[in-house]
Amino acid sequence: MTGFRPPRLTTFQTIILLFAAVILGGSLLLMLPVSSQDFSVTPFNQALFTATSAVCVTGLVVQDTATHWSIFGQAVIMVLIQIGGMGVITVAAFFSLLSGRKISLMQRGTMQEAIAAPKVGGIVRLTGFIIKASLCIEALGAACMLPVFCRDYGLRGIWMAVFHSVSAFCNAGFDLLGTPDAQYPSLTSYRAEPIINLTIMALIVVGGIGFLTWDDIRANKLHLHRYRMQSKVILSTTALLIVLPAIWFYFGEFSALSGKERLLASLFQSVTPRTAGFNTADLTALSGVGQGLTIMLMLIGGSPGSTAGGMKTTTAAVLFANAIAVFQRRSEPHFFGRRIDNKAVCSASTVCFMYLTLFLGGGFVISAVEKLPLSACLFETASAVGTVGLSLGLTPSLGLLSQGILIALMFIGRVGGLTLIYAALSGFSKTASRLPQERITVG
């Protein structure tokens, strides 16, 4: 008689379960009386929402981070942000390396999937580079913001600088600037402060371009022709998604501001929806077009293998290239002299369909349940599934069902829709047989 053997988890199932375990552990820590300012027990649904938002580096909150949570609670949130930003698997692998344990081939495969690396070879070296580079960048960001925060908050400014640097680099969007009289302010009080604006934007962009792009930059410096095609696509798409929206915000939204504030606000508003969640402007004052553009940027998000969420810049780029190929009657899309595999086009189409379905479906349900305008609810669901954290102020007042929907959207948005599908369908084997083909007219 053989003993019972538990089923072996796939790579995708392991990633999902580890994310869920960290969220649950964080929720329990945030429920402790020591985590709140008044030493009360935070309700489980609020702690779960906050922990999910932190691990999924979203930034949507139901309690103001500065006024509700104690220093201990804020530290828990920052650790959860750090783990979620760099990836649960990456952090776990790093501690294994520090302890001297060898990384098995299966663990290397899981690490490869977690950071979207093209191959298993060199994955341990890349993981070490990711951790070290992340900590150095966060330390540099904190050092840049330290003079401003210490000027305004004294010694507490040290903690403010560190927290906001981690939150920005990990594209989380949590802030500690709220007061009892002015909660959920984000960075609106620093709208005209160049150091805070430029540092936060730089951290968001660097965290959002992806770990493999960092590796390319480290290895090839300014020799762009040596970069991977994916890195070229990410950098060019990121640049376009910063510059073009900034032009719209400059001429279409912030004309009432002074010259410096107008430029900073326009650049910040084009960077933060992908997918950081900080804001220096009143989002409710944006026009319908401005809010719609923000929703689009939130859904696109950052790049694969980064601290950011969303559909990813590469997904949008592949769909755009495929559309151009169809218009030109070419059989395959291409970038920089390289053709795109048809599987990438299919995956991009699937990811886009999933995000749009979750975004619209969640918005419809919340609007129906809460009796709120659909446009405002869609803004919140785009922020959740894109793991952004921008809000029109609805999230704290939502009921349990609506908060549950946002929790599910944040989780799916962080671990990835395809990861969930692959985990759920891991028991289904592929078949080599093919059904008869028949034409169907589209478009």
pLDDT by residue (tens digit) across 55-64? 888 888 999 9
Question: pLDDT at residue 344 above 70?
Answer: yes
Question: Among all chains, which residue has been given the structure tokens 């040290």?
Answer: 158
Quick: pLDDT tens for 350-373.
Answer: 889 999 999 999 999 999 999 999
Question: pLDDT at residue 70 above 70?
Answer: yes
Helix axes 11-31, 105-114, angle to 10 degrees: 70
DSSP 8-state symbol, 302: S
- Would the CA dihedral through 409, 410, 412, 413 be positive or negative? positive
Whole-number Å distance between alpha carbons of 162 and 93: 24
pLDDT tier for residue 115 given thresholds of 50, 70 and 90 = low
Question: pLDDT at residue 173 above 70?
Answer: yes
Question: pLDDT at residue 269 above 50?
Answer: yes
Quick: pLDDT tens for 366-395.
Answer: 999 999 999 999 999 999 999 888 988 888
- pLDDT the model gives residue 211: 81
What percentage of the chain has pLDDT greater than the value 90? 48
Host H or E run for residue 338:
strand 338-339
Question: pLDDT at residue 125 above 80?
Answer: no
- pLDDT the model gives residue 89: 63
DSSP secondary structure of 196-263: HHHHHHHHHHHHHS-HHHHHHHHHHTT-GGGS-HHHHHHHHHHHHHHHHHHHHHHHHT-TTS-HHHHH
> Residue 335: helix, strand or coil by DSSP?
strand
Whole-number Å distance between alpha carbons of 290 and 273: 12
Question: pLDDT at residue 161 above 50?
Answer: yes
Provide the residue count of the chain. 443
Q: Of 51 and 430, which is predicted with more confidence?
A: 51
If you average pLDDT over residues 154-168, what whole number do you get? 95
What backbone phi and psi angles, to 5 degrees, belong to 190?
Answer: -110, 25
What backbone phi and psi angles, to 5 degrees, belong to 182?
Answer: -145, 85
Q: Which of 205-214, 291-300, 419-428 is the least confident region?
A: 419-428
pLDDT tier for residue 4 given thresholds of 50, 70 and 90 = very low
C-alpha pair distances (Å), 402 with each of 227, 390, 394, 409: 44, 16, 10, 11
Question: pLDDT at residue 12 above 70?
Answer: no
| Cβ–Cβ < 8 Å for 249, 266 | yes
If you average pLDDT over residues 419-427, what whole number do you get? 59
The residues with which 69 forms a beta bridge, in sequence order, are: 36
pLDDT tier for residue 1 given thresholds of 50, 70 and 90 = very low
C-alpha pair distances (Å), 256 with each of 207, 250, 252, 261, 441: 31, 10, 10, 10, 50
- pLDDT the model gives residue 121: 61
Question: pLDDT at residue 402 above 70?
Answer: yes
> Residue 116: helix, strand or coil by DSSP?
coil
Q: Which of 332, 355, 330, 359 is nearest to 344 (CA)?
A: 332
Q: Of 335 and 363, which is predicted with more confidence?
A: 363
pTM of the model: 0.88
- pLDDT the model gives residue 331: 81
Beta strand 338-339 pairing with 334-335: antiparallel
pLDDT tier for residue 212 given thresholds of 50, 70 and 90 = confident
| Cβ–Cβ < 8 Å for 51, 30 | yes
Q: Which of 45-49, 80-84, 118-122, 174-178 is the least confident region?
A: 118-122
Quick: pLDDT tens for 289-325.
Answer: 999 999 999 999 888 878 788 889 999 999 999 999 9
Whole-number Å distance between alpha carbons of 17 and 29: 18
Question: Among all chains, which residue has been given the structure tokens 């070490």?
Answer: 128
Question: Among all chains, which residue has been given the structure tokens 């008689």?
Answer: 1
Range with top average pLDDT, 1-10, 88-97, 214-223, 316-325: 316-325
- pLDDT the model gives residue 56: 87
What percentage of the chain has pLDDT greater than the value 70? 85
Q: Which of 116, 174, 182, 178 is nearest to 153 (CA)?
A: 178
Quick: pLDDT tens for 133-146.
Answer: 889 999 999 999 99
The burial class, CB within 10 Å (0-12 / 13-18 / 19+), for 276 is: buried
Average pLDDT, the chain: 86
